[in-house]
Chains A and B, each alone.
Chain A
């Protein structure tokens, strides 16, 4: 007995040492992992003339330190604030619309067993596989014809193209929900619309959060769809703004550019640090269903 205990103790001691080494190794890897972001931050604090490919890794010195001048210049020159607001508005309106319409549609699909509802379900799954390039030209033309080409109604396009994932996730969850609750509510005189908002929506809350997170990550960072649909001279989302100023070669000013990249990243990282639990759960839930 004593021998077994000794062995166990030795083993756990060895595991502890290995784990400690691993912790240190991982800490170093993590430093390397966030280095690219650190690099952008340091460069965004340098004056324009101190930025070149050769000196990218040098920290700003007293001579090359620019303070927040790049940030002010970048924000005013790139009209960053309006891009930010357009991005925010498009993301919020699209995600709210997607969640509302797709959860209703998914409930219908999971409760009504007709050919039409099955067809809708399989079409949604199909749409998830289709690459955007397949529809980009015709979608942009359709949006133009129907005048869906402003930030205020582009959410309808996002609903159409994002419906696949959302309907799929909601249907998966709703099919596993017990019917008894809904039947009881129906006997008590609940209309389908009341039932959906008072009974079904509260139960599907976890799926709603997961889906909202996945769709938000997509819409907020999407570049090609708004580029093709919106008039770039009038409206620019953040990814469009970055590409518009960086992509036009020649007189690109790198320092304000990097300042803008930093301001683009900051809200995302802050949001992530606060809602980390939900985001990670959302990703896992999305993957398990997928």
Chain B
């Protein structure tokens, strides 16, 4: 338990870990955009090479990157299956209503690769950035939305408080569960409906306690002079360094190359 359950931050010291979280956030988006530009074999090889280089630079063990694919495994299989079976084109193999086309195979492979690269690319960001730094980055990147009165600071504050309380509430849920089991509650047997119903005596006390905590926390924040984002300074403000500028330039180069691949169709 603890922070391990939140996000999947892998604490080592690497170039990628030291980059400004804003750079990593923008970089992930740039990578995804670039990924959807390339089409040909060489384009995908290029995207794969960039990904491998990033993984190498991040010093995160390869299996941690693969682990991030687990939740999307079924999505991946289904996407590929549909693409193989439902794309019209030159038929290679046919049985009953099922047929495999050349175009379908091609499509399935490209979609599958895109999905794998996309998930791996974004997991490099979450593995090298603490959830808090990401929240900070998003607050700064989206601060332009303040013009149209989006409460950017407040949303970011809510996110970081949520991050802080997730482990506390998980622990509490565990405690409540044990307390109810001690009184004979049964969470394991019965059908889906019965099991869902058994959750009620867990959720009600959890919510009551969460509200009480929220009330206490609001009071503690006010006692420490919290009055929203205006006039607030930061202990660890985000500052761009030279390596961040270099990263932005490399991103532009990457995007340029991807566009070249798209135009030439390689």
Chains A and B bind each other: no
Q: Which B residues have a C-beta under 8 Å from some C-beta of A? A: none
